[in-house]
Amino acid sequence: MNKFEKVSIVIPIYNEKETLIELLDAVEKADLPEGMTREIILVDDYSTDGTSDVLRPLENKFKVFYHKENKGKGAALRTGFNEATGDIIIIQDADLEYDPREYIKLLTPILEDKADVVYGSRFMGGEPHRVLLYWHSWGNKTLTWLSNMFTNLNLTDMETCYKVFTSEVLKKVLPKLKSNRFGFEPEFTARISKARFRIFEIGISYYGRTYDEGKKIGWKDGVAAFWHIIRFNLFG
């Protein structure tokens, strides 16, 4: 019997009114391995664009939580993680850059007992990618390279949204997580590396947005990530 029966899909949200319903429709329709159920957890990080008005009618259908102030992606994820009851957790952004139809591919290494954590890499494999934002891509690869130097991993995409992991991984790292904003990515990577979990990467498709289309992470977050990599790898 498969010991993994439920997947918790944790979705941090900030000003995604325009994409949220379409994204949730894709998450609900995404195929899962036979016998698995899904739990969808939505955390609104004090959106100001009317996202909360979209969420309120969904409160009887999904687990919905609201921050009373904007705290950042890492804080929203911790809120969602604390409510997750699944055997496996998937992080899903609320935009349309990542495709939920790839859940089975991401889950497979864990279901086959080959991995404890799976990263969906935008920079490996032959899946389709929208072509844009050279410097953003370069920044992601540079941060991954620096993170790898400290963790001794050979990841190709540390900053990816798609991080999939077991509830046992969550129990181990959740009490230690501190980052409130985009520092979550290097912090999580540092902590699973130190804990020596089995990590896999799977190539995924990527439908990136421009800043005019709503992309939020910027150069200041990239600069902060350098410090987070050093901080969480050297000082815990």
Domains contained in the chain, CATH given? 6-235 (3.90.550.10)
Q: What is the pLDDT of residue 140?
A: 87
Q: How far is CA 59 from CA 21, 63, 66, in A?
A: 13, 6, 11
CA dihedral sign of residues 69, 71, 72, 75: negative
Residue 72 in this model has a pLDDT that exceeds 80: yes
Q: How far is CA 117 from CA 92, 159, 215, in A?
A: 15, 14, 26
Mean pLDDT, range 11-24, rounded to an integer: 97
Q: What is the pLDDT of residue 135?
A: 74
Residue 42 DSSP symbol = E
